[in-house]
Each structure stands twice: as structure tokens, then as C-alpha cells.
Amino acid sequence: MGGRPKARPVRYAIADPTALKKLSRPLSDWVTYFLSDREDPDEPHFDPVHLGGSIVVTLTALGCVYWLLWTLLVYEGGIILKLYALARLASGTSLRDLGWEGYPYAMGDFEGVFGNFLALVFCIVLAAAIRRLYLQAARKRKRA
């Protein structure tokens, strides 16, 4: 073999055989602690399905609010542009000056007005529903 040492099995490569046991014991205790079926009576009951469901519902609600506000404020120029165009129209500007050529193809500054005002209605309904829930909770808290 040309003076090279003979290959040995890997198990003899560790100088201290107890070192591996010393390292694996904390890992084993940690795995046993987190993966055991034994329940601690002092901890609250935890159901991962309910946690996962609440996370999904929360993200869905945030997505709905995002798209509602996007439709209200950004879609086809947003509602601010429509209100500005209405103010200009009230001050004597003609529809042709605002880019109107006819419904539904070339509405000028009024493009997307239906989506913007529908989003405004949804925002008002959502705000009223949240306010109602808040007031009900406040009344229940006063009684208690």
C-alpha cells in the first residue's frame, strides 16, 4: 500500500466514544420534550387546527381589505380623481373636456367609476359593521 495507513471503519474516528452520547443527550431531551404526547395540566389547551384556521382567515381578511382599498383608491385613477372630475364638471367644464366620448367605451376621467363607488359602498358597510361590533363589545364590558 505504499506506506499509507490502513483504512479503518469510521466508528473509530471519534477519540472519545462518550462525547457523542454527551452531545446527543440534550438533543434527545429536547426532541422528547417537544414531541411527547404527555400534556402539562398547567398549560392552556392548544389546537393546531384552530391556530391554522385563524391564520388562514386573518390572511384572507387582510387580502380582502387590501383589494377593497386598492379598488377604492387606485383602480382607474381612484375615487379622488372621480371627485375632482365631478367638481370640475360642477364648475362648468364639459364632459368632452374631461375626455368623455360615450358610455361604456371612452369615459375619460370617469373610467372605473362604478368599481370605485362600489368599493366606497363596501368600505362604508364594513366600517359600520366594525363600529357596531365595537359598540356591542363596549356595552358588554360596561355590564360586567
Whole-angstrom distance, CA of residue 72 vs CA of residue 138: 30
Q: What is the mean pLDDT of the chain?
A: 84
Whole-angstrom distance, CA of residue 95 vs CA of residue 109: 9
- 14-66 confidence digits (pLDDT tens): 556 666 677 777 777 878 877 777 777 777 776 788 889 999 999 999 999 99
What is the pTM for the complete model shown?
A: 0.60
Spell out where 43-126 has E strands: 100-102, 106-107
